[in-house]
Amino acid sequence: MQVATQQAARALAALRSTRPRGASRRRRRSGPRWVAGPLVIDRAVREIEAMPRVRRDRVVAARARLLAGEHPSADEVAAMIIRRSLCDHLG
């Protein structure tokens, strides 16, 4: 599944909302910096799962680009990887 920008933004917001309050930014820890609670993770997963798995508009646009000889840029691929990794981090 390709992660949309909106889905990645929701995943990032969920991760940011679980950051411990009062934690020093400069202090290094051996464990994870953010710990997402089960309710936050469940809410984020429900929101992501509520979105369609295959977005027809993206498939049509991608096919049109390929037929025109266009390929995704390195920046586009990197953005997709970052969005995917954000959502995978919640799972």
At residue 36, φ and ψ (nearest 5 deg) are -85, 130
What is the gyration radius of the CA atoms in the chain, in angstroms? 17
Give the mean model confidence (pLDDT) for residues 30-56. 78
pLDDT confidence bin for 89, thresholds 50/70/90: confident
Q: Which two tokens stand for residue 57?
A: 């508009």
pTM greater than 0.85 (yes/no): no
Q: How high is the pLDDT of residue 54? A: 77
* DSSP symbol at 83: H
Q: How high is the pLDDT of residue 9? A: 78
In angstroms, what CA-CA distances link 85 with 27, 76, 80, 88? Answer: 25, 14, 9, 5
How many helices and strands, by DSSP H and E, does the chain display?
4, 0
pLDDT confidence bin for 70, thresholds 50/70/90: very high
Q: How high is the pLDDT of residue 64? A: 93
Q: Among 6-15, 20-29, 32-41, 43-52, which is the least confidently predicted range?
A: 20-29
Tell me if residue 65 falls in helix, strand or coil. helix
Q: At what angle do helices 5-17 and 74-90 cross, to 10 degrees?
A: 40
Asked whether residue 43 carries a pLDDT value surpassing 80, the answer given is: yes
